[in-house]
Amino acid sequence: MQISKDANLIEDILKPAEVMPTRDGAGKALVEFGEANKNLVVLTADVSESVRTHWFEQKFPNRFFEVGVAEQNLAGVAAGLAATGKIAVIAAYAVFSPGRNWDFIRVAVCYNNVNVKILGSHTGLTVGPDGATHQALEDIAITRVLPNMTVIVPADGKEARKAMLAALAIKSPVYIRVTRDKVPVFTTDLTPFEIGKALLLKEGKDITLIGCGTVVYDCLKAAAELEKEGISAEVINCHTVKPLDAETIINSAKKTDMVMTVEEHQIDGGFGSAVCECLAGSHPCRVKRHGMPNIFGESGDSKDLLRKYKLDANGIAETARKAIGGVKNKQKVTVI
């Protein structure tokens, strides 16, 4: 477990100095790493500006490849480049990569364990008006099941930069999930980041709120509201879904005996399922998985959608209250 230097200073954390999409942090990291390492190549499928690889394209045009609207080829070409010793990054909308080209990622990338990083952008409900067809809500599930794959879901733009730099430093497949909407930047340049190490943001004793991605900020806001009601919520940023930081999760569960996972993703097979798998074998306790309840999203303003599906701070706090209300007897081995 890593502890933020701001742990328990929730008032300061909830006053972010800027907002930015997490895709921006990842895109800036590509340029930064590319300046130091000439082996880095970047590929996209006709969405360079949207997924923020255009900055790399402008700086290193000879190391940038546009394959067109052909996501299967995107993965196949990247695997070939990686087999020759290159560090290959493919970037597209997540519904198409890893969605459409999952088989190519499975066989060409993961089976061969080549050095390819998959940047999946425009994930979750916050794609908003683009609607259900473009809202990737299954990508964590389909990537975390693949052998040799690391899965990272950054909480803000600064963490996305660190995540991409960390991913580029290891020689194996990595999936990084980023978003289109601007979100609060609540971490700092000094906030620690290590693949596989969750970050404790706030200590608590009544319930553990553990999230991945941009909903972590809303978990903090929810915890602040619950604190006013006498409910002490521990908040953990679990940016790495695979490999999961089992030690941190289990230790927190032992303390609170009530865990609530939060994700902008389907609850079946996603981050919450990963946490349940972890706890089932080591510390069975009450777990509430909070996310999309086995339904597709819909078109609408991103804030309205998060509110409707209770993935904003108010909805997370409301769900946590109900979860705590159902654990008076603290019966174990129950998923609610």
AA identity, residue 2 = Q
Give the integer Cα–Cα distance in Å for 295 and 298: 10
Q: What is the DSSP string of 231-271?
A: --EEEEE--EEES--HHHHHHHHHHHSEEEEEEEEESSSSH
Q: Note whether 23 and 127 are within 8 A (CB).
A: no
Strand-pair partners of 202: 235
Query: How many other CB atoms are there within 10 angstroms of residue 182's CB atom?
Result: 15
CA-to-CA distance for 173 and 97, rounded, in angstroms? Answer: 14
Residues 139/120, Cβ–Cβ less than 8 Å: yes
Give CA–CA dist 287/294, Å, rounded. 17
CB 128 within 8 A of CB 155: no
Query: What is the Cα–Cα distance from 29 to 313, expressed in whole angstroms?
Result: 29
Assess contact for 23 and 178: CB atoms under 8 A: yes
What percent of the residues of the chain are helix, what percent strand, and what percent coil, each to the nearest 5? 40, 20, 40
Q: Where are the alpha helices (DSSP H) in the chain?
A: 10-13, 22-36, 54-59, 71-83, 102-104, 139-144, 157-168, 215-228, 246-256, 271-282, 302-308, 313-325
Tell me 28's DSSP state.
H
User: Which amino acid is present at 277?
Assistant: E
Task: List the catalytic residues.
Answer: 71
SS3 299: coil
